[in-house]
Structure 1
Amino acid sequence: MISKITFYALIVACVLFNTEMILAQDANASSITIKGTVIEEISGQPVAFATVMVADNDTKKPISGTTTLDDGSFSLETDATNFYIEISFIGFQKRTFGQPVAKTSTIDLGKVALAEDAEQLQEVVVQGEESRTEFKLDKRVFNVGKDLSSTGASALEVLNNVPSVNVNIEGQISLRGSQGVQVLINGKPSVIASDGGNALGTITADMIDRVEVITNPSAKYDAEGTSGIINIVIKKEERKGLNGSISVNTGAPENHSVGISLNRRTEKFNLFSQIGVGIREYPDDIENRNVDLINNTTILTNGTEYRNENYYNFVLGTDYYINPTNVLTLSGNFALELEDQPSTTNFTALDGTNTTTSQWDRNEVTEATNPKLQYELQYKKDFQGNEDHTLLFSALGNFFGKDQSSDFVDSTISGEDKNSAQKTRTDFKESVFTFKLDYTRPFSKKWSMETGAQYVLNDVSNDYEVNNLVSGNFVNDPGLTNIFEYNQKVLGLYTTAAYEGEKWGIKAGARLEDTDLNTLLTNTNENNNQNYFNLFPSVHSSYKVSETLSLQAGYSKRIYRPRLWDLNPFFNIRNNFSIRQGNPNLLPEFTDSYEITSIFFVGKTSMNLGVYQRYTTDVIERVSSFENNVNTVKPLNIGTNRSTGLEFNSKYSPTNWLTLNGDLNYSQFTRNGSFDETTFDFSADQWSSKLMAKFKLPADIDFETTGNFQSSYQTVQSEVSENLFLDMGLRKKLFKGKAVLNLSVRDALASRVSESQITQANYEIYNRRQRGRFLALGFSYGFGKGEAMEFSGQRRR
């Protein structure tokens, strides 16, 4: 099936040699000031960030240099006595000026007009240091060379060149084929890199020193992690410039947005902001079949569920560079979502001969107001003499609220009278506070240590009420009405020690976490208190076999704590025959994760091959119970799971107009467990793959396709069907990359269907869900040093 998927592509944008500046001083010479203004020859507009270089006449080596300001002006000093001046900018012809014969303290070049270089615009010229990847104990480091830093590309363009990392046209980041990646800036979370920010494009390639990729986090990071961590390290000296973009997007189903992103960097401040507004629509087609094999009755359900939203998003923050070794960050993100969920569900009741006994519709009108707030205060200190000697303190706060009301009306179409009405009310509030302290100390070039602490407080209140229409009046249903209080505190302490030689290194550490969890159903005074203290060790090692082959091995112990919705016993009554509810007595999962990976380079091809084994205890599985055609799904701790798998990833660029990226994951697993005298022992396997192709077409057009395949697999009760779907995208650069026109199609073949089947002795359940094809068209105009970066208006997770 994968062979039928069309290939797509992306090519590296035009690259121009950006000469490295070297300071050469003569203490006995007098200083000369060189100044002027750089403009475009045709338009007369100023050229910002053009390179002004002073070079030695004999050796042709750079002596000093600078870049032009927003108004095209520049000024620099030199003590050289035998030099020439060269002014350049990507897409324009260079201008060279010799040293004046007469000695003077000031050289005023006036207005320097640069003419467009048509040949340079059509060709890719790569000079200087190339980007490269290397292993560093528990992470892979992608060092950004001049082949990328001189292009003016965004941070997302840089990530697209990192092995195992992919960024699609919509700006979604995946690592080894999986999303849910945590992106850090200089080792710390940032509003710029958050799901709600969409502002990563305001960071340009020439600001980035390196990108660190962590697929199996050490004890330094949360024991409850994501699918991976990407850390973007910004150059200390790159603090000047204005970057931003204005974007307009539209799509079908309805998805329209307008966004403005700004990033201003000076010697002391880095100011970033974003404003976005929009509307979006998420239709979801559902189909359920509940079969009671004892009473020979069936309930068929079908309909379309909608979630329509108007949303507003505002980001504002600053990094304040107190001095070269101390930086303070203060930022905030406020978002407001106004939800409307008009949905109609059709029900049909059948008897044992498949004869319809009754039909009715259930109409829902739901409205909700969802405010979201994120804020952070961070302080980072770099100790003089070693850039890796750092102290970081951060305080982050998150708030989410939901004020929701729903009206449900059942209307009989035929057969038995099903007329009824219900009302629900939800008042939900969640606050999460995270305090973190990290200290890194290198003792030498080979030996280092890390230590730190983290304290996370999660406080939730969910006030839920159901009222039924009885004799013309709405009467409260006490069995479905309650206030659920959830409070969790996690204190973590960690330390690691590392040795890193030229070819071999090892890093070991441990993390202690104390978890205090309390849940309470206020009206009925039902509570569940859990307190557990756990040790999470980690060991990582790497070995550089050659310049083209490196190996890495690691072990870590992980935890998955039940989420709020895993614990909350109340449920949405949208479909009274298909109910999901939480389990307040749920225990956390613990996983021992072993992994051996390799990275191998052959020319322009990078290949990653890894094998892993994961052993998980107290596995959380969603188990169905069935009564009177009502299927109730509830999470339970069901035994253990041992999974052994193989991961393969390759990024291949056979030409400068084609890039291929493939991911393959295969695992074989064994499940052992029992619940209520039912045994759930079985063995099965599953595999998934993703194939991405990026093409560089004429007229500065990029085209990409992504084919995804997920095999069928077995759970403790059900069989989940295979899934194959295709995403496509087209991007046209305008005005030398300052503007971008995007067209994307998600699930182009409308084949992305979630389908599962449960077959038990007393009942059968079939579920099908499909969202269908999504089309999006966007235009973005960027200004400053980088390319345009679209505001996608994506949902915050």
Structure 2
Amino acid sequence: MVLKKNITPVLFGILLMFSFVSVAQTTKIEGRVVEQSNNQPLAYATVMLADKDTNKPISGTTTTEEGTFVLETETNNYYIKVSFIGFVTKDIRDFQVKNNSINLGTITLAEDAAQLDEVVVQAEVSRTQFKLDKRVFNVGKDISSTGMSALDVLNNVPSVNVNIEGAISLRGSSGVQVLINGKPSILTEDGGALGSITADMIESIEVITNPSAKYDAEGTSGIINIIIKKEERKGLNGSVSLNTGEPDNHSVGISLNRRSEKFNLFTQLGLGRRSYLRDSENINRNLETVTTLFNTGTDYRNEKFYNITLGTDYYLTPNDVFTLSGNFAYEVEDQPSNYNFQLFDEADALVSEWNRSEATDATNPKWQYELVYKKDFTDHEDHDLLLSATGNSFSKDQNSLFDDVTVSGEDRDAQQRTRTDFAEDNFTFKLDYMKPFSEQWSIETGAQYVMTDVSNDYEVEDWINGEFVTDTGLTNIFNYDQKVLGAYFSAAYEGEKWGLKGGLRLEQTDLKTLLETTNDANDQNYTNLFPSVHTSYKFSEAVSLQAGYSKRVYRPRMWDLNPFFNIRNSFSIRQGNPELQPEFTDSYEVTTILDIGKTSLNFGVYHRFTTDMIERITFLSEDNVSTTRPENIGTNSTVGIEFNTKYTPINWLTFNVDFNYNSFDREGTFESEVFDFKGDQWTSKLMAKFKLPANIDFEATGNYESEYKTLQGENDDIAFLDLGLRKKILNGKGVFSLGVRDAFASRYFKSFTAQGNSTNYTESTRGRFVTLGFSYGFGKGEAMEYSGGRRR
């Protein structure tokens, strides 16, 4: 195979890189960090070596789930600093070196009730930090997400929901921008593509419901920023994992990392195969002709994948770091489907029945590359300069054959063939600068330029008189070219009790789309200002208050604008709208944080007002074909409340609760039809974690999403349960894990739409997913519970 020939020299290159890293005489430092109040281990506490003369960091690590740590150094003029958010930092200057080894034993940290800059809700493994303009969900090893994707992890983050189709919403709104390491990515353009990021790869997830001027104005309901781990333990570290699951889900992953004083070299390899299936049912009723069309079926996505990531950090000086990394992934897809159609007349008599089958194959190469320079100035730890250039590309070569076979009644025999050549390139250039003038005052400024270039060559052919003939009405090339230039400035004051941050962002957008065959062009050029204000006040040790305002924009994506569609189900069609305009949102929120003993409660009230609201409208033709496309329709005003908490009644049981409720008022008109209506919706999540004997952990997460009105109908409620079990062996180096998503196969998506003289009912489900895995960490690596997905 060509692939094997290509991988062999890559592996040789990896080993060659590692061989260049020099190994000097080192001192080994180890110990264990626990809470002073209950002697429980502190997972993910920071252990840092600092220079005695300058107090600058030399190196560091974090503790394991058992509170233990090991690090090495080649220097000798240092002291040891142990810290964890919410606890008093401890400096250790008195220690003995024996045989190039330091054993610090058990280190106790006391809780710090006087910390004023943030409040931490400390979960058993995962935890949430509340900062001035965002919340940071630090991802632990939540068992139900083991072997699952970033979409599953997101579904466990407070305020975030992911529906059965992979669509992400924040506080019930789908206008959310998803970033990876603070930058746009190919993987975030399509929710399903986030399945290539696995749970073990994620360090933290930032939920920014009111982004400051530093961030892109894109995303009307806010920003979700996925921070990917980058291993930095010194020496050679690695991890290997094997996973299997049902439906068909098998993978192997290897991670290697080598760190010295000057270099950090890292690589990940993964390969595997997986299958997704979806059962669906559609009922189209034409009330004018009194006919009904039923169609039921199953479509599959069978995928083989191969990937490699290579990168290095080079420390030019302790304060100047260059990072160069690249990722290549290759997917081979097979997408069969089969649908049965039945047409009934006004007397419910069967008029005709036919089957429509599909055979689709596709190949998807993906590239991403990044160069980053970071400068840490010596006068203050937060005085930073960051320059980055990122490029990514994705292409798809897909061919499909559709075959309609008559079962009874009217002759429906037909064949269609489609071809898709898709290519997308994204380039992002970014500069960020932060300058503190004192412990209270600081500024941030920077600029960003994003270029997106997409071409979608789509052809449909019909079998006519013994040959395939191009359907010119459905065949075209759609080009999409968007450039966004942004610049921002913000200033912040953070005192002992009160903080204030204000900023302004300017963005200029240049968008061009073109349908080549018809020569239909749509050019948009607009410039907007996006202000933001955030403030916080600490009334007492137990009560803090945060408030914020920001203006946001949602720019239609390529698939929102492209008028052509997949004809898998030729009676249920989704297409884009080239004339679609951006929508703008003013967002306000006030959040109260109550710190009651070891329990922290987060209660918030928010309001969003959106103009040029984008809604999907469904039309049903006389021949029972339902077509859905986006349109700009009026305004939407949303008022909501949100509640999050974590409670540990006993040391082996922890509960995490997340609740969100909002009501909305829609006003709008489309083609002389009034779409004014009011409604509400709510979601809740309850996670229970149990520490069992024999080093076994068990976790159950229940989810509920209420029914809610839509522009033309309503969506049903959804309830589902995720389960997980984990067993550690070999002092935590090895981990067996079992995960069950949607344990009762109850995660159905159901919607009802009424438009004019027609109605449409849709129901779909993906069913239960079960995964079983084993992972093992070697060197100083940990078992990473890696399912073989692409690492970014």
- Structure 1 residue 61: deviation in Å? 9.5
Q: What is the rounded CA distance, in whole Å, between the counterparts of 1:583 and 1:188 in structure 2?
A: 27
Cα separation, partners in 2 of 1:694 and 1:12, compared to 1, 3 Å: farther
Question: TM-score, structure 1 length as denominator?
Answer: 0.81
Of residues 418, 438, 454, the one that matches 1:460 is 454
Cα separation, partners in 2 of 1:486 and 1:232, compared to 1, 3 Å: closer
Cα separation, partners in 2 of 1:20 and 1:453, compared to 1, 3 Å: closer
Q: What is the rounded CA distance, in whole Å, between the counterparts of 1:24 and 1:596 in structure 2?
A: 43
Of residues 251, 258, 261, the one that matches 2:252 is 258
- Structure 1 residue 320: deviation in Å? 1.1
- Structure 1 residue 192: deviation in Å? 14
Q: 2:572 maps to what in 1?
A: 578
Of residues 459, 477, 485, the one that matches 2:479 is 485
Counterparts of 1:146-295 in structure 2, within 5 Å, are 168-169=142-143, 170=145, 172-173=153-154, 174-178=156-160, 198=197, 214-225=208-219, 227-229=222-224, 240-295=234-289
Counterparts of 1:252-651 in structure 2, within 5 Å, are 252-627=246-621, 628-651=623-646
Cα separation, partners in 2 of 1:61 and 1:557, compared to 1, 3 Å: closer
Q: What is the rounded CA distance, in whole Å, between the counterparts of 1:507 and 1:786 in structure 2?
A: 40
- Structure 1 residue 783: deviation in Å? 2.5
Unmatched tracts of structure 2, length 5 or more:
1-38, 54-68, 80-89, 147-152, 162-167, 169-176
Q: 1:87 maps to what in 2?
A: 103
Cα separation, partners in 2 of 1:264 and 1:129, compared to 1, 3 Å: farther
Report the residue type matching 1:717 in the other structure.
Answer: Q
Q: 1:693 maps to what in 2?
A: 688
- Structure 1 residue 263: deviation in Å? 2.6
Instruction: Count the aligned residue pairs.
Output: 695
| Alpha carbons 1:512, 1:536 under 8 Å: kept | yes
Q: 2:776 maps to what in 1?
A: 781
Q: 1:739 maps to what in 2?
A: 734
- Render the CA deviation track for 1:528-584: whole Å, top value 9, x for unaligned: 001111110000001111222211100000111111111010001111111100000
Instruction: State whether structure 2 residue 747 is matched by structure 1 residue 752.
Output: yes
| Alpha carbons 2:136, 2:206 under 8 Å: kept | no
Report the residue type matching 1:514 in the other structure.
Answer: Q
SS in 2 for 1:448: strand
Q: 2:5 maps to what in 1?
A: none
- Render the CA deviation track for 1:160-216: whole Å, top value 9, x for unaligned: 99986665322524432416696776x779999995885885899xxxxx9976442
Q: What is the rounded CA distance, in whole Å, between the counterparts of 1:184 and 1:644 in structure 2?
A: 29
Q: What is the rounded CA distance, in whole Å, between the counterparts of 1:754 and 1:660 in structure 2?
A: 27
Cα separation, partners in 2 of 1:222 and 1:498, compared to 1, 3 Å: same
Instruction: State whether structure 2 residue 57 is matched by structure 1 residue 75.
Output: no
SS in 2 for 1:478: coil
Cα separation, partners in 2 of 1:332 and 1:195, compared to 1, 3 Å: farther
Report the residue type matching 1:687 in the other structure.
Answer: W
Q: What is the rounded CA distance, in whole Å, between the counterparts of 2:281 and 2:44 in structure 1?
A: 55
Report the residue type matching 1:664 in the other structure.
Answer: F
Q: What is the rounded CA distance, in whole Å, between the counterparts of 1:571 and 1:212 in structure 2?
A: 34
- Structure 1 residue 661: deviation in Å? 0.7
SS in 2 for 1:425: strand
Cα separation, partners in 2 of 1:65 and 1:19, compared to 1, 3 Å: farther
Question: TM-score, structure 2 length as denominator?
Answer: 0.81
| Alpha carbons 1:248, 1:780 under 8 Å: kept | yes
| Alpha carbons 1:239, 1:267 under 8 Å: kept | no
SS in 1 for 2:569: coil
Report the residue type matching 1:719 in the other structure.
Answer: E
Q: What is the rounded CA distance, in whole Å, between the counterparts of 1:381 and 1:738 in structure 2?
A: 35
Cα separation, partners in 2 of 1:588 and 1:412, compared to 1, 3 Å: same
SS in 1 for 2:108: coil
SS in 2 for 1:352: coil
Report the residue type matching 2:571 in the other structure.
Answer: F
Report the residue type matching 1:578 in the other structure.
Answer: S
Cα separation, partners in 2 of 1:443 and 1:303, compared to 1, 3 Å: same
Of residues 660, 665, 671, the one that matches 1:676 is 671
Q: 2:109 maps to what in 1?
A: 128
Report the residue type matching 1:87 in the other structure.
Answer: N
SS in 2 for 1:788: coil
Report the residue type matching 2:447 in the other structure.
Answer: A
Q: What is the rounded CA distance, in whole Å, between the counterparts of 2:258 and 2:96 in structure 1?
A: 18
| Alpha carbons 2:353, 2:406 under 8 Å: kept | yes
Cα separation, partners in 2 of 1:382 and 1:231, compared to 1, 3 Å: farther
| Alpha carbons 2:389, 2:429 under 8 Å: kept | yes
- Structure 1 residue 736: deviation in Å? 1.1
Counterparts of 1:765-780 in structure 2, within 5 Å, are 765-780=760-775
| Alpha carbons 1:197, 1:274 under 8 Å: kept | no
Report the residue type matching 2:108 in the other structure.
Answer: Q
Unmatched tracts of structure 1, length 5 or more:
1-10, 26-46, 68-72, 77-85, 89-93, 95-124, 149-155, 205-209
Report the residue type matching 1:387 in the other structure.
Answer: E
Q: What is the rounded CA distance, in whole Å, between the counterparts of 2:511 and 2:319 in structure 1?
A: 39
- Structure 1 residue 692: deviation in Å? 0.7
Of residues 716, 721, 726, the one that matches 1:721 is 716
- Render the CA deviation track for 1:85-126: whole Å, top value 9, x for unaligned: x635xxxxx6xxxxxxxxxxxxxxxxxxxxxxxxxxxxxx87
Q: What is the rounded CA distance, in whole Å, between the counterparts of 2:43 and 2:512 in structure 1?
A: 57
| Alpha carbons 2:198, 2:787 under 8 Å: kept | no
SS in 2 for 1:175: coil
SS in 1 for 2:588: strand
Report the residue type matching 1:178 in the other structure.
Answer: V
- Render the CA deviation track for 1:590-643: whole Å, top value 9, x for unaligned: 000001012111122111100000000111100011112110001000100000
SS in 2 for 1:479: coil
RMSD over aligned CA atoms reads 3.6
- Structure 1 residue 331: deviation in Å? 0.6
SS in 2 for 1:480: coil
Q: What is the rounded CA distance, in whole Å, between the counterparts of 1:306 and 1:233 in structure 2?
A: 29
